[in-house]
Amino acid sequence: MNAIYSIILVDLLTWLILGYFFVINTVYLVLLVVSFFSTRKLNKSRDAYEITGLFDSDLYKSVSVLLPVYNEEENIRSTVYSLIQLDFNDFEIIVINDGSTDNTFEILQKEFELFPSERFIPEIVPHKPLKGVYKSNLFPNLIVLDKENGKKADALNAGVNASRKDVICNVDSDSWLEPDILKKMLRAFVEDETSIAVGGIVRIANGSVFERGRLKQILSPNSFLGKIQVVEYLRSFLFGRIGWSSVDGLIIISGAFAVFDRTALIETGGYNRESIGEDIEIVVNMHQHFIEKGKPYSMCYLPEPVCWTKVPESWDQLAAQRNRWHRGLADTLFKHKKMIGNPNYGWLGMFSLPFHLFFELLGPILELASYLLFFTLMITGLLNAEFAILFILFAVLYGLILSVGSILLDELTYKPHTRLRDVFSITIHAVFENFGFRQLHFWWRLRGLFDYLRRNKEWNIKDPNPTLTNALHWGWFAAFNLFFLSLLYYGMSA
């Protein structure tokens, strides 16, 4: 009798795991299809804008570009120059030096000829004290705030208080904007007066050639991790966020580049200074505020406006980044838990937030359980060949189809790569992503969830021995591929 119960339990667990992989990848497939049609519609709208000359009109709102920086002496010149060269009629640039301990402020002061300014900064949203306010002698629309360190959300709040324009545009210090990006982003505010937040595509800058903040040539990253992240970013932005946006389920606009209505941002209290995932927190908080107040609003992701950003190219730095992202997701979902499954919050409450809770936040637990179960069944000789094949199909090949589909959609719509070998290389890495990297990713997310439960609020959890960590990650990558090949051999020979 106990043996029968054990078999039933194993069957339930295996079908639960298969169901998890099937549901999550099917939702992603639906989002990919939705994103494809949404992108085609937006491209037609873009063409209409160009034909009518609306891109050159004065219908756009004015923009305050906020650039929070901390110890960015290597990138600060090129990033600021990329902002200065933006093709837009009415904008200001506010650089917030968040207590840097390197030469970031000194470089700003010398390169842009800063001098003290009497500009009044009202205390609208909270932030750490300012040490000084400066303007540039070379560029009248460039303002620099020097303040005590308070981390990114605190720095952004200082920038919001200092801003004087209609719309806030946040940019990361290791990111570069294409010159016409503000015109393309602000079309959302022209088309829909209820728009309060807009996101755009973020692409990976590693490997590409920039000169004084201007993109000269698009090339794929040289490193294995860089190429893998190209696939990740395409999947995340091109069908993930555009797809969620199309069904009113968007809960994150990338912190690397985001545009918000200033009045709406202030009305919701600005950025949460205690959050380690300020980008997801501000979006969910704005959803909650406007829904509860009964005010009409809209948020969207546009597929064409491009922000180029640098990504980590070592295992330890990438692990720390993904750990922080997952802690930020956990923090936001638990803070806004009353919205989850609540019909008062519409599609967002009934589908998007529950999906992110069970499949994104808690997904690593199920993924870990799936691999532990497989390993146990293999060593005990209880692994069912049919189940092994279905697991490979749903957990690996389904994900591979989505990754390659994202690359195909990108090449069909925007053709960003001029070299065929770059497309081929990225496609090959889309395959490798599903064999070892994805499994490492769920482990980083699992660690992030564990660290969140331990109330770890550090921005970056530093690795005490990055050399060993990087070696162990490469070892895992090789070991998993051997494991998968043995699993495949078992399924085919049984």
CB 112, CB 136: distance < 8 Å: yes
Mean pLDDT of the chain: 85
DSSP reduced 3-state for 343 = helix
Cα dihedral angle (106, 108, 114, 116), rounded to 10 degrees?
-70
Alpha-carbon Rg for the chain in angstroms: 24
DSSP 8-class letter at 174: T
Q: How much is the pLDDT for 29?
A: 83
DSSP 8-class letter at 61: P
Q: How much is the pLDDT for 71?
A: 93
Distance (Å, whole) CA 413 – CA 41: 11
DSSP state string for 353-379? HHHIIIIIISHHHHHHHHHHHHHHHHH
Distance (Å, whole) CA 424 – CA 377: 37
When mean pLDDT is compared across 114-118, 212-216, 293-297, 333-337, the lowest value belongs to: 212-216
Instruction: Using alpha carbons, select from 48, 41, 60 the residue that is nearest to residue 185.
Output: 60
What phi, psi does 436 have (nearest 5°)? 120, -50
Tens digit of each residue's pLDDT (9 = 90 or more) over 171-207? 998 888 888 888 888 888 888 889 999 988 888 888 8
Distance (Å, whole) CA 444 – CA 473: 11
* Superfamily of domain 57-328, CATH level 4: Spore Coat Polysaccharide Biosynthesis Protein SpsA; Chain A (3.90.550.10)
Instruction: Using alpha carbons, select from 32, 25, 6 the residue that is nearest to residue 367.
Output: 25
Confidence of residue 298 (pLDDT cuts 50, 70, 90): very high
**Paired sense of beta strands 114-116 and 91-98, if any:** unpaired
pLDDT at position 25 over 70: yes
Distance (Å, whole) CA 111 – CA 202: 27
pLDDT at position 51 over 50: no
DSSP reduced 3-state for 258 = strand
DSSP reduced 3-state for 412 = helix
Tens digit of each residue's pLDDT (9 = 90 or more) over 117-159? 999 999 999 999 999 999 999 999 999 999 999 999 999 999 9
Q: How much is the pLDDT for 270?
A: 94
Confidence of residue 425 (pLDDT cuts 50, 70, 90): confident
Q: What average pLDDT does this structure show over 17-43?
A: 81
Q: Which of 143-152, 298-307, 474-483 has the highest mean pLDDT?
A: 143-152
Which residues are CB-neighbours of 340 under 8 A, at least 6 positions away?
333, 349, 353, 354, 357
When mean pLDDT is compared across 206-210, 277-281, 309-313, the lowest value belongs to: 206-210
Tell me the residue ranges of DSSP E strands in 151-293. 167-171, 175-177, 195-204, 209-211, 214-217, 257-261
Q: How much is the pLDDT for 289?
A: 96
Element (H, E) at 67: strand 63-69
Question: Which two tokens mark 103?
Answer: 């030469």
Cα dihedral angle (461, 465, 468, 469), rounded to 10 degrees?
0
Which residues are CB-neighbours of 267 under 8 A, at least 6 positions away?
289
- For the chain, the structural domain boundaries read 2-27+354-493, 57-328
Tens digit of each residue's pLDDT (9 = 90 or more) over 55-93? 454 557 899 999 999 999 988 988 899 899 898 888 999
b/e map of 176-190 (b: 16 or more CB within 10 Å)?
Answer: bbbeebbbbbbbbbe
Distance (Å, whole) CA 324 – CA 330: 10
Tens digit of each residue's pLDDT (9 = 90 or more) over 385-397? 777 777 777 777 7
Element (H, E) at 132: strand 130-136
Element (H, E) at 308: strand 298-309
**Paired sense of beta strands 214-217 and 130-136, if any:** unpaired
Q: What average pLDDT does this structure show over 358-369?
A: 88
Question: Which two tokens mark 211?
Answer: 């000169």
How large a percentage of the chain has pLDDT more than 90?
A: 38
Question: Which two tokens mark 404?
Answer: 């390659």
Distance (Å, whole) CA 234 – CA 201: 9
DSSP 8-class letter at 341: T
When mean pLDDT is compared across 205-209, 266-270, 448-452, the lowest value belongs to: 205-209
Q: What average pLDDT does this structure show over 340-351?
A: 94
Question: Which two tokens mark 445?
Answer: 């997310």
CB 402, CB 30: distance < 8 Å: no
Q: How much is the pLDDT for 397?
A: 78
What phi, psi does 92 have (nearest 5°)? -125, 155
Confidence of residue 3 (pLDDT cuts 50, 70, 90): low
